[in-house]
Chain A
Amino acid sequence: MSELIEVGVKLRDRALREGFEEAAVLVTHTESLMVKFANSEPSVVQRWSSREASVYLAKNQRLLGTSVPVGSLEEAYRLISELHSLHAKVPPSMLYAPLPEPEKPQPLEGLVDRKLIDVLHDPSSVSEAVVEAALRHSIDYFAGMFQVSYERKALVTSKGAELEEEATSLKMYIRSFAGEGSGQWALGSRRFDLQRIEEVASTASRLAFESRRQEDVPPGKYDVILSPMVVGNLFNIVADMATASSILMGASIFVNKAPGDKVASEQLTIIDAPRNSELPGSTAFDDEGVPTYSKPIVEKGVLANILHNTKTAAKFGARSTGNAGLIFPRVWALEVLPGGYSLDEMIREVREGLVVTNNWYTRLQNYIEGTFSTITRDAVLIVRNGEVVGAARKMRIADALPRMLNSIAAIGREVYDIHWWEVDTPTRAPYILFREVGTSKHTA
């Protein structure tokens, strides 16, 4: 029995001895390192070591939970005991459903790359490679970071599940500055590949250089090609809206939709992809021990699946989709299926429009209607008559998600693995051309 399983078993058994009827314990041990850059040099090197447990507890349909560090279990035991004394004082949970019977998830191959563990211990050569790659282009300076992590997790439940998994991950992004311009690119992977790392730095610097001279573009409706960075940001929101919890909480454009309803252009398929072991977020089992599987959220424009754990599934009269967090369902990793266009071909489809390479600060006025705005940052390329003719100053995309999902004209054939601040769920996405997108800008 591994050390993590042992901790899980101890906490589960303690909970059952206290009198809880059900318990699920997720124990994680994470070793992680990040080198952060600013002004073309390291601003800080950060290193984390953590061992934590998240504990789900149920008795008489009351749901309670805790998360604690497990350096010492005494505090965890004390909290479990305290929670037991509280359970009779709360009503049954509207979300209660029994934990699922254990199944045998098919292990995922390729979740660990030992080279990333080596970088965790000795990152300086990667730091040097990042600096060199970013400064290879004509830029003023760059900022960004790379983070490598090695995580082991164990799940123990009162139904008898005892599961373990280990995984490595790389998350990185670089933002380069040149003149008036800037460019940013990102990567999320479970593997170490120095060439891909250098390409991130190189792409950021190239975009900065291409946008170094900018002009104002008046706000209005434009055909807009969104880069995988922007697609990742907006589709992270869309995917999160497909979780049953978002629908229950009134924070989703799918509140009044059901699987089978048309919600997007036929070309669009978005997949929750926990079995894609190249993407961080991939895992063989969820937090209830249910085997994960890849499933479309939107398939050829049709809402295909609401994402569930056993609790929300019971509420909706559905089956778990293997997306359990301990209380609410979650998205693991996203894939947007590629289309048939190269980026150049997509640009040739645009008479007057923009290529938006990055965005941030997406906020919604109304989650049910999907009205939102987001601000471009970094290179916005101006397209006229099928050619890039310059770069635009910052502006907003101000539109509604349901309308945009239905206005897709072309999807790129190259996909990119994105993971950064604004794309929290690792996402494999192509460039996508949207027609008649609303843009906005300050009035004074």
Chain B
Amino acid sequence: MSWEYEDLVLKAVDYALSLGAGYAEARYHKVARSGVATRNGEFIGLEKSFREGVAVRVLVGGALGFSSTDTLTWGGVKTAVDEAFAKARAHSKLMKHPIELSHERLGRASYEALEKKKASGVSVEEKVAYCADVWKHVSTATTTARVATLTMSLGESVEEKVVANSDGALIRSRVPRVSIWYNVVVTVPSKGTVQRFFSHAASGGYEWVEKWDVLGYLPGDVKTFERIILEAVKPPTDRPVDVVVGSEIVGLMVHESCGHPSEADRILGREAAQAGKSFIKPDMRGQRIGSEVATVIDDPTIPGSNGFYLYDDEGVPARPRYLYKEGVINEFLHNRWTAKVFGTQSNAAARAMDHASEPIIRMANTYFKPGDHTLEELIEGVKYGVYIKSYMEWNIDDERWSQRYGGLEAYLIENGELKHLVKNPVLEITTRTFYSSVDAADRNLEFYAGTCGKGEPMQGVPVWFGGPNVRLRNIQLRVIA
């Protein structure tokens, strides 16, 4: 572990205070990655890289300065502190609302996520052979269709940080992660193609690769994609129907339409020119957004999760955040700045992608609280509708109100039974319609991995999002023509 830079971090904080900063924070941050990439079972390349450096934030006259360097000497870090201080001071005259931070009980702790089976202990031959084996089984899985392309990569990373600030925080952490990413294209030249991008990722070790079992499920998925091309028909779009939404889509929906709009910096307009604003206004806590079934939680502390952490990058201890609770807007995601503005406490959402990034408010692992049904019961309760299990296309407007999901694997439901495949159904609804139309959720809780983008420069941070399968009543579907 890279605790050797702790002294540099502490010295940076002291030096910034000596210059006259009202607040100072320094973070040593290293992300080491390695991985193999393949196409159609053939090896492309192997990469093993790392980035490390020190990030500094200071408050001077109510202005916030950030500076980053990868020169890990006192000279390099001192220059970074000088730059952050000077640039903040030069802009303090433009500040109409000087930035202040909330008072918090900050941590002094060390933690790490555990690898049951070290990814670095698995040979590169085994990783390359695994990708080749997946191709072998996937490429022979179909009868009529051809699997044109399977691009696949298998990666691992270790993120190490030392965070210190002038309010007393000192947090050391180490989080290893593993991931698999693939893009598969199935084609019947006279009829079209189906494409699936998908990724798995988690904190921990190679045990996850074994658990995901891509080799076990992807040949079956590819057969389904072949059936979509050959058999799927237009979904019902002539009248509103009931829709059972698969956990994969539910996870993305809560990330996009609950997690993002609950970010307090977005609510306050700090990301207005980038990821946008929020339909949630500062005074909307307590307002109803959905049915009583709709509870959405964001929890950084889930062991093994992709968004795992126990203290945020401002030193605040992490805890589960109940963003929507039984259909009511309940809690925002806060850092110490937004907590001060809202007169509350931070709930530890400040996170930075790497040493070149400022900590900003981020989700960790966001999920829809499971209910008490089974998937079979959800479907049995539908007279006429559609079950959308997975998706490809999606987007949401910059206030997180109007969202769209293009279904990939989807089935017609008639009289409580799954019938034939339907092609390209589109769920295009508002956030209120989604949460208000949920009448039941099943007991499953599945998580899906993503890299959430936000900030300027863009920061992609690892997250999970998930949930159960849920049932929506009376939804007008569209279709991709």
A residues with a Cβ closer than 8 A to B are 33-52, 62-69, 71-72, 75, 79, 82-83, 86, 89-95, 122-124, 127-128, 131, 141-145, 147, 173-175, 177, 184, 248-251, 255, 327, 360-369, 371-375, 377, 394, 396, 398, 421, 438, 440-444
Select B83's contact among A37, A47, A65, A363, beta carbons within 8 Å: A47
Q: A46-B358, A49-B80, A442-B428 are in contact. Are A71 and B70 (CB under 8 A)?
A: yes
- B458 on interface, CB distance cutoff 8 Å: yes
Q: Are B48 and A83 in contact (CB under 8 A)?
A: yes
Q: Are B68 and A66 in contact (CB under 8 A)?
A: no
Q: A34-B457, A95-B45 are in contact. Are A42 and B67 (CB under 8 A)?
A: no
Q: Are B87 and A123 in contact (CB under 8 A)?
A: yes
Select B398's contact among A363, A377, A396, beta carbons within 8 Å: A377
Select A71's contact among B71, B187, B395, beta carbons within 8 Å: B71
Across-interface contacts of B195 in A (CB, < 8 A): 250, 365-368
Across-interface contacts of A89 in B (CB, < 8 A): 123-125
Q: Are A249 and B183 in contact (CB under 8 A)?
A: yes
Q: Are B39 and A363 in contact (CB under 8 A)?
A: no
Q: Are B43 and A250 in contact (CB under 8 A)?
A: no
Q: Report the separation of the CA atoms of residues A344 and B142 in the bound assembly, to the nearest whole angstrom.
A: 54
Shortest Cβ-Cβ A-B pairs, 7 listed? A250-B149, A361-B395, A443-B476, A143-B272, A365-B393, A143-B273, A175-B273
Q: Are A69 and B46 in contact (CB under 8 A)?
A: no
B451 → chain A, closest Cβ, in Å? Answer: 14
Q: Report the separation of the CA atoms of residues A248 and B42 in the bound assembly, to the nearest whole angstrom.
A: 12
Q: Are B272 and A175 in contact (CB under 8 A)?
A: yes
Q: A45-B88, A364-B393, A444-B433 are in contact. List 19 more A-B contacts (CB 8 A).
A: A39-B96, A39-B272, A42-B63, A64-B45, A64-B48, A90-B43, A90-B46, A90-B125, A93-B44, A127-B91, A127-B94, A147-B457, A177-B272, A248-B39, A250-B184, A363-B392, A373-B404, A442-B402, A442-B428
Q: Report the separation of the CA atoms of residues A137 and B394 in the bound assembly, to the nearest whole angstrom.
A: 35
Q: Report the separation of the CA atoms of residues A90 and B184 in the bound assembly, to the nearest whole angstrom.
A: 23
Select B402's contact among A40, A67, A69, A375, beta carbons within 8 Å: A375
Residue of A nearest to B68 (CB): A48
Q: Are A46 and B67 in contact (CB under 8 A)?
A: yes
Binds A, one of B50-58, B371-379, B441-449: B50-58
B266 → chain A, closest Cβ, in Å? Answer: 10
Q: Report the separation of the CA atoms of residues A107 and B273 in the bound assembly, to the nearest whole angstrom.
A: 36
Across-interface contacts of B96 in A (CB, < 8 A): 39-41
- B72 on interface, CB distance cutoff 8 Å: yes
Residue contacts A-B, CB under 8 angstroms, 23 given: A38-B270, A42-B94, A44-B66, A46-B358, A47-B66, A47-B67, A49-B71, A49-B83, A63-B46, A66-B48, A68-B51, A93-B43, A95-B45, A124-B93, A141-B269, A250-B185, A255-B148, A360-B398, A361-B395, A363-B394, A372-B393, A373-B395, A373-B404
- B49 on interface, CB distance cutoff 8 Å: yes
- B344 on interface, CB distance cutoff 8 Å: no
Q: Report the separation of the CA atoms of residues A52 and B334 in the bound assembly, to the nearest whole angstrom.
A: 34
Q: Are B70 and A51 in contact (CB under 8 A)?
A: yes
A437 → chain B, closest Cβ, in Å? Answer: 12
Q: Report the separation of the CA atoms of residues A442 and B476 in the bound assembly, to the nearest whole angstrom.
A: 9
Q: Report the separation of the CA atoms of residues A105 and B148 in the bound assembly, to the nearest whole angstrom.
A: 38
Select B395's contact among A48, A175, A374, A444, beta carbons within 8 Å: A374
Q: Are A442 and B433 in contact (CB under 8 A)?
A: yes
Across-interface contacts of B44 in A (CB, < 8 A): 63, 93-95, 327
Q: Report the separation of the CA atoms of residues A250 and B64 in the bound assembly, to the nearest whole angstrom.
A: 44
Q: A39-B97, A49-B71, A250-B151 are in contact. Are A184 and B46 (CB under 8 A)?
A: no
Q: A421-B456, A444-B429 are in contact. Are A249 and B272 (CB under 8 A)?
A: no
B residues with a Cβ closer than 8 A to A are 36, 39, 42-53, 63-73, 76, 79-80, 83-84, 87-88, 90-91, 93-97, 123-125, 128, 148-149, 151, 183-185, 187, 192-195, 268-274, 276, 356, 358, 392-398, 402-404, 406, 424, 426, 428-430, 433, 456-458, 475-478, 480-481
Q: Are A51 and B71 in contact (CB under 8 A)?
A: yes
Q: Report the separation of the CA atoms of residues A71 and B125 in the bound assembly, to the nearest whole angstrom.
A: 32
Residue of A nearest to B150 (CB): A250
A187 → chain B, closest Cβ, in Å? Answer: 13
Residue of A nearest to B63 (CB): A42
Q: Report the separation of the CA atoms of residues A441 and B397 in the bound assembly, to the nearest whole angstrom.
A: 11
Select B456's contact among A34, A123, A131, A396, beta carbons within 8 Å: A34
Select A91's contact among B128, B273, B457, beta carbons within 8 Å: B128
Q: Are A50 and B53 in contact (CB under 8 A)?
A: yes
A73 → chain B, closest Cβ, in Å? Answer: 13
Across-interface contacts of A91 in B (CB, < 8 A): 42-43, 128
Across-interface contacts of B51 in A (CB, < 8 A): 52, 67-69
Q: Report the separation of the CA atoms of residues A364 and B196 in the bound assembly, to the nearest whole angstrom.
A: 11
Residue of B nearest to A372 (CB): B393
Q: Are A44 and B395 in contact (CB under 8 A)?
A: no
Across-interface contacts of B71 in A (CB, < 8 A): 49, 51, 71
B84 → chain A, closest Cβ, in Å? Answer: 6
Across-interface contacts of A75 in B (CB, < 8 A): 50
Residue with the highest number of chain B CB atoms closer than 10 Å, among A69, A174, A175: A69
Q: Report the separation of the CA atoms of residues A207 and B75 in the bound assembly, to the nearest whole angstrom.
A: 47
Q: Are A441 and B53 in contact (CB under 8 A)?
A: no
Q: Report the separation of the CA atoms of residues A294 and B450 in the bound assembly, to the nearest whole angstrom.
A: 36
Select A46's contact among B36, B66, B73, B271, beta carbons within 8 Å: B66
Q: Report the separation of the CA atoms of residues A254 and B430 in the bound assembly, to the nearest whole angstrom.
A: 34
B448 → chain A, closest Cβ, in Å? Answer: 16
Q: A49-B80, A127-B91 are in contact. Are A143 and B149 (CB under 8 A)?
A: no
Select B476's contact among A63, A94, A444, beta carbons within 8 Å: A444
Q: Are B46 and A365 in contact (CB under 8 A)?
A: no
Select A444's contact among B193, B426, B475, beta carbons within 8 Å: B475
Q: Report the separation of the CA atoms of residues A72 and B70 in the bound assembly, to the nearest whole angstrom.
A: 10
Across-interface contacts of B87 in A (CB, < 8 A): 33, 45, 47, 123
Residue of B nearest to A444 (CB): B433
Q: Report the separation of the CA atoms of residues A332 and B68 in the bound assembly, to the nearest whole angstrom.
A: 26
Q: A41-B94, A250-B185 are in contact. Are A94 and B43 (CB under 8 A)?
A: yes
Q: Report the separation of the CA atoms of residues A325 and B394 in the bound assembly, to the nearest whole angstrom.
A: 29
Q: Report the separation of the CA atoms of residues A68 and B49 in the bound assembly, to the nearest whole angstrom.
A: 6
Residue of B nearest to A403 (CB): B481
Across-interface contacts of B457 in A (CB, < 8 A): 34, 147
Across-interface contacts of A374 in B (CB, < 8 A): 395
Q: Are A52 and B70 in contact (CB under 8 A)?
A: yes
Q: Are B95 and A86 in contact (CB under 8 A)?
A: no
Residue of B nearest to A64 (CB): B46
Q: Report the separation of the CA atoms of residues A39 and B273 in the bound assembly, to the nearest whole angstrom.
A: 10
Q: A49-B80, A71-B70 are in contact. Are A79 and B194 (CB under 8 A)?
A: no
Across-interface contacts of B42 in A (CB, < 8 A): 91, 93-94
B349 → chain A, closest Cβ, in Å? Answer: 17
Across-interface contacts of A83 in B (CB, < 8 A): 46, 48
Q: Are A71 and B271 in contact (CB under 8 A)?
A: no
Across-interface contacts of B404 in A (CB, < 8 A): 373, 396, 398, 440, 442
Across-interface contacts of B149 in A (CB, < 8 A): 248-250
Across-interface contacts of A442 in B (CB, < 8 A): 402-404, 428-430, 433
Q: Report the separation of the CA atoms of residues A47 and B93 in the bound assembly, to the nearest whole angstrom.
A: 19
